[in-house]
Structure 1
Amino acid sequence: MAVVTVRRWLSLLILCLLQIVSSQSDYEIPKVTIEAIKPKGFRVFIKDTPKLSLFAFQGRINKAITQTDVGDISGEVTAATNGKWIYEDPNIQLKVGDVIYYYVFAVYDRKGYLKDNLSFTVTELVDVNSQAPVQTDCRPTATVVRIGTACAGQTIFEDNFDSLREDLWQIEQYIPDQPEYPFVSYQRPPNAQTVSVENGYLRIEPKLQQEQPGFNNESLYSGTLNLFSGCTRTAEACRVRAWGASILPPVVSGRITSKTFAFTYGVVEVRAKLPLGDWLYPEILLESQLKKYGTLNYASGVIRIAGALGNRELRLGSNEYGNKVLYGGPIMDLRCRDILTGRKEIINNQLWGDDFHTYSVRWAPDRITFTVDGEEWFRVDPSASGLQGRFNNFCEIPRSLLSLGSSIAPFDDHFQITIGVAAGGITEFTDNVINGDGRPKPWSNRNRKASLNFWKDLPAWIPTWQQPALVIDYIKVKAL
């Protein structure tokens, strides 16, 4: 649930009006219930029905409204709570006699429905503190959602990617830096066609920056990359100028984040086909929303649900690091990032990127468990002194802050879902690994020319990008 801006609401309305179906359809928006709250506040809700995916409200107080107007009271809901689609604004001041003129919009079975020319007269102020509790079959759960209430076993988030829903996802646009420093910029259409939905699948596909409009090979050495229009981070993260060995990010890729959904504890399930291509890696993550334990070097934690490097073969001595190896786990520190992570090799000479697999994490207050295709392959338990007890003094975790949290800290706060594809960087690919063709990794993680040396090796790695896209079938989150 979120209050929408004028610009966003008008864009949504124009799009949806084009898809509104005839009033003769079998579906009708359920009865709208409005309550004026004492001493102040506003609540509106409709009953939940299957296939309902959005409910939006626009209203004006003591002033007429048309279906193209943005109201004084303006909001949308993308998930039901205990059988109702509820929008609340605690800051609206109403009094007996006020008239709210309004219209509502709903998306049912991927079609838009509008009900307008409606009004509500305030005849009383409802004291919510004196209302009897509503009897439901909602069983208690450790799961907490940022908006609303969760019930045990309830699906609290789901996207089957029948369309690209920007009401659920923020398509990122910025130039990432610490702690991974990948050799990419994240860009959204129309800057670059990196994120799309096709035939019910989400595709995030990296491309070369030099092939984007207005750029060429020389641009990487002397040009400027300006992503300020549409930037989703600070201005400093959306503009860079090439200088010396610091070339522009040579790869442009995509990344999305669940902007309206965050939760603490639950089961996340992602059915995905991982990318194949030298020096690529997928990002299927849970990332801290508020970063209350710090912003540097994974201080507030990242849960990697699944990852496999894009190289078909990659070795260091007898150890395999390529796409035959699934890796993941909680990350709390850059220097000691592998302390809590695990790995699983696929059998029968297959690759994780050859087919779809279902990757899942069960995140609970006392344990984090990872499964693939229904089989548990890794788990992490806190020590007697919490997760921080698993780290020695060489590691740079925020111990004083973690001691204020629970035993699973920093994984005891709201996290969001992040999906993307990156390339290179200084954390995912160990120095001195040898590719399947006998070529060594072309850059050193500590070398200031890392991105440049990666780029110079383009003739060797670009032919391997035959399947560079991360393809997602669905993402689902359930309460514990």
Structure 2
Amino acid sequence: MALDAFGRLVFLYLACAKLVSAQYTIPDVTIQALKPKGIRVSIPDSRGVSLFVFQGNLNKEIGSNDVGVIAGEVTNPMDGLWMYEDLDLQLKVGDVIYYYVFVSNDGKGYVKDRLTFTVRVLEDPISTGPNDCAPTQTRVRNGQACAGKIIFEEKFDYLREDVWQIEQYIPDEPDYPFVSYQRPFNVPTVSVQGGYLRIEPKLQQNIPGFSNSSIEMGSLDLFSGCTATSTKCRTEAWGASILPPIVSGKLTSKAFAFTYGVVEIRAKLPQGDWLYPDILLESFLKKYGSLNYASGVLRVAGARGNGQLSVGTADFGNKLLFGGVLMDAKCRDILLRNKTSSRPWGDDYHIYAVRWTPDEITLLVDGEEWTRITPSSNSLKDLFSTSCDIPRSVLATGSKLAPFDDHFVLSLGVAAGGITEFPDGVTSAGKPKPWQNTSRKASLRFWQDIASWIETWRQPALLVDYVTVRAL
């Protein structure tokens, strides 16, 4: 392509880019000055990227619509990178490259401009190539991690059961959600459609083959295909204790577990009264204990599905994003952080991310950092109230980030109700929550109020576009 024609193309891209809202965030650009001469520019690959354009000037500023003397257009990634090279460019220490980049993602244009790079050292092009494995703090179970490289990627072209375990069991402590995780034959709760993972809750009474007389009587047997301990594979309705009225889905990464890294999940959250997504990192081997949150749970993102959920003026509904570390059920409200949006988080796809290092945990949404959890010089516990019942095993061993210093797995699911996610005293669209968290009849009261909440389940599914994990 001729340079002037290339410039006109970039100008049109830039003009279009200003018309779209930012759903994709251009990652940090890596520039290497090579010896004896040359330049290498790259960004990590991610789902939806179809074009990477670099425009730069040497020791001279560049306008956001200008064509630079260093110009490249890349239409295909290589080894997980969108990379442009010019091995004829002569650079020296002290040179400054003024540049901007354009990326096309899912048919939309995105620009990152007014950037600079100062040459500090000339690097060997062989030792710094895309196949080089630089050391990293990230650890992978039964695998190797290289700095900045993707260690896990799922684009959901189909449901890979060699990668994901589709859970089947009845969850209990500490949340006791009003669901069972199943994979019914004719009514899938977990599916892949058009390149998206779909996890959608259903009513147990509508599942084909459910032969019991009702939710309030009978039994639920999940032993065939159960993925948990035997105590979570079967239950019977008795008195105030009914069968879980909701059937939902949950996926857990089967073989992949890691310690430290950057996780990105592009997803649309479910909406509907008393629903909430589970987008989690969970301990793989439960190093610090198996009960409650003893070994830690990291909630990457969550939003309650109710459109209007409040206590007084406090909003707990679908405009409130929450996430963070969980080490104790009693003080979860102290541990979790939140961020408010002007629109429901389930209205659009967003990129929910966590950067997990040995020193801190940072949560981001659409590239914007919204909370950072940094322990004191002693331990993570010192950040939180002494009312948290942190297990002694966490305090006695491990790093200052314990229990978040062990291998964790990815977990994706949808739950409903329960005794921790929805505080007592909240009202939904002006109506009191139908159950009390301390009551034996909590699930029954929820079920008896079905006429109020089922009509709000117009978008009850969690939709996931992609999941990536990158080494530090």
TM-score (norm 2): 0.71
Question: What SS is found at the alignment partner of 2:216?
Answer: helix
Question: What SS is found at the alignment partner of 1:406?
Answer: coil
Partner of 1:283: 278
In the alignment, the residues of structure 1 paired with residue 383 and residue 288 of structure 2 have an alpha-carbon distance, to the nearest angstrom, of 17
Contact 2:276 2:305 in 1 (8 A): yes
Contact 1:443 1:454 in 2 (8 A): yes
Contact 1:253 1:422 in 2 (8 A): yes
1:398-454 CA distance string (max 9 Å, x none): 134433100100000000000000000001001110112x11100000000000000
Matched, 1:451 2:443: yes
Partner of 1:159: 154
TM-score (norm 1): 0.70
Partner of 1:416: 409
Give the superposition deviation at 1:393: 3.5
User: Which one of the candidate residues 174, 179, 190 is aligned to 1:179?
Assistant: 174
Contact 1:286 1:417 in 2 (8 A): yes
Give the superposition deviation at 1:280: 0.3
Q: Which stretch shifts more, 207-216 or 366-375?
A: 207-216
RMSD: 1.8
In the alignment, the residues of structure 2 paired with residue 162 and residue 282 of structure 1 have an alpha-carbon distance, to the nearest angstrom, of 22
In the alignment, the residues of structure 2 paired with residue 314 and residue 392 of structure 1 have an alpha-carbon distance, to the nearest angstrom, of 26
Matched, 1:345 2:337: no
Contact 1:256 1:420 in 2 (8 A): yes
Q: Which amino acid aligns with 1:434?
A: T
Give the superposition deviation at 1:324: 0.6
Q: Which amino acid aligns with 2:468?
A: K
Contact 1:340 1:380 in 2 (8 A): no
Partner of 1:366: 359
Query: What is the identity percentage for the equivalent residue pairs of Structure 1 and Structure 2?
Result: 65
CA pair 331-401 structure 1, distance change in 2 beyond 3 A:
closer
CA pair 406-191 structure 1, distance change in 2 beyond 3 A:
farther
* Within-5 A mapping of 1:329-344: 329-344=324-339
CA pair 430-298 structure 1, distance change in 2 beyond 3 A:
same
Question: What SS is found at the alignment partner of 2:210?
Answer: coil
Question: 4+ residue stretches of structure 1 with deviation over 6 A?
Answer: none
In the alignment, the residues of structure 2 paired with residue 295 and residue 230 of structure 1 have an alpha-carbon distance, to the nearest angstrom, of 22
Which sections of structure 1, spanning at least 5 residues, go unmatched? 1-49, 51-82, 85-135
Matched, 1:428 2:426: no
User: Which one of the candidate residues 122, 132, 135 is aligned to 1:137?
Assistant: 132
In the alignment, the residues of structure 2 paired with residue 309 and residue 431 of structure 1 have an alpha-carbon distance, to the nearest angstrom, of 14
Partner of 1:355: 348
Partner of 1:473: 465
Matched, 1:213 2:208: yes
* Count of residue pairs brought into register by the alignment: 346
Question: What SS is found at the alignment partner of 1:361?
Answer: strand
Question: What SS is found at the alignment partner of 2:307?
Answer: coil
Partner of 2:124: none
In the alignment, the residues of structure 2 paired with residue 346 and residue 257 of structure 1 have an alpha-carbon distance, to the nearest angstrom, of 29
1:191-212 CA distance string (max 9 Å, x none): 7410000000000000000111
Contact 1:388 1:399 in 2 (8 A): no
Q: Which amino acid aligns with 2:248?
A: S
Contact 1:314 1:321 in 2 (8 A): yes
Q: Which amino acid aligns with 2:470?
A: K
* Within-5 A mapping of 1:95-134: none
Give the superposition deviation at 1:392: 3.8
In the alignment, the residues of structure 1 paired with residue 224 and residue 212 of structure 2 have an alpha-carbon distance, to the nearest angstrom, of 23
In the alignment, the residues of structure 2 paired with residue 193 and residue 323 of structure 1 have an alpha-carbon distance, to the nearest angstrom, of 25
Contact 1:328 1:343 in 2 (8 A): yes
In the alignment, the residues of structure 2 paired with residue 147 and residue 330 of structure 1 have an alpha-carbon distance, to the nearest angstrom, of 26
User: Which one of the candidate residues 304, 307, 330 is aligned to 1:309?
Assistant: 304
Question: What SS is found at the alignment partner of 1:338?
Answer: helix
Q: Which amino acid aligns with 2:367?
A: G
Q: Which amino acid aligns with 2:370?
A: W
Contact 1:210 1:216 in 2 (8 A): no
In the alignment, the residues of structure 1 paired with residue 435 and residue 394 of structure 2 have an alpha-carbon distance, to the nearest angstrom, of 36
Partner of 1:197: 192
In the alignment, the residues of structure 1 paired with residue 410 and residue 186 of structure 2 have an alpha-carbon distance, to the nearest angstrom, of 23
1:243-279 CA distance string (max 9 Å, x none): 1110000000000000110000000000000000000
User: Which one of the candidate residues 412, 433, 438 is aligned to 1:441?
Assistant: 433
In the alignment, the residues of structure 2 paired with residue 424 and residue 338 of structure 1 have an alpha-carbon distance, to the nearest angstrom, of 16
User: Which one of the candidate residues 388, 391, 396 is aligned to 2:381?
Assistant: 388
Q: Which amino acid aligns with 1:456?
A: Q
Question: What SS is found at the alignment partner of 1:454?
Answer: helix
Partner of 1:461: 453
In the alignment, the residues of structure 2 paired with residue 327 and residue 279 of structure 1 have an alpha-carbon distance, to the nearest angstrom, of 15
Contact 1:189 1:195 in 2 (8 A): no
In the alignment, the residues of structure 2 paired with residue 299 and residue 334 of structure 1 have an alpha-carbon distance, to the nearest angstrom, of 10
Which sections of structure 2, spanning at least 5 residues, go unmatched? 1-44, 46-77, 80-130
